[in-house]
């Protein structure tokens, strides 16, 4: 997972990030700002396409990443329509 996260670091690409293995439908949408073997820094995006703060999470807690899903495409449209940049 570390190498996948590194590939997304400092890109403008939104990613679905899954950290709760007991609830496989729960995820966050964010842009990966920085990653180390221990921690990942995320710029979160809300469901309505707005900046939603930052998160520092343990890299090992991330068990799944999805990109270019229909949901992300919709969030990106909202995000761009609101002219937001991180």
What would the pLDDT profile of 27-64 be if each residue is shown by its tens digit?
A: 999 999 999 999 999 999 999 888 899 999 999 999 99
Q: Give me the number of domains the chain comprises.
A: 1
Does some domain include residue 86? no
> pTM of the entire structure?
0.84
Which CATH number goes with the domain that contains 13? 2.30.30.100
Which segments of 1-86 does DSSP mark as H helices, in order?
A: 2-8, 70-81
Residue 65 sits at φ, ψ, to 5 deg, of -130, 135
State which residues form the domain around 42: 2-81
| pLDDT bucket at 85, cuts 50 / 70 / 90 | low
Other beta carbons less than 10 A from residue 5's beta carbon: 19
């Amino acid at each position: 997972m570390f190498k996948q996260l590194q590939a997304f670091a400092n890109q403008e690409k939104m990613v679905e990030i899954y950290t709760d293995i007991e609830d496989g439908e729960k995820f966050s949408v964010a842009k990966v700002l920085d990653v180390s073997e221990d921690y990942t820094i995320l710029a979160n995006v809300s469901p309505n396409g707005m900046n939603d703060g930052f998160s520092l999470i343990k890299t090992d807690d991330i068990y799944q990443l999805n990109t270019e899903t229909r949901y992300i495409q919709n969030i990106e449209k909202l995000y761009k329509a609101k002219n937001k940049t991180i």
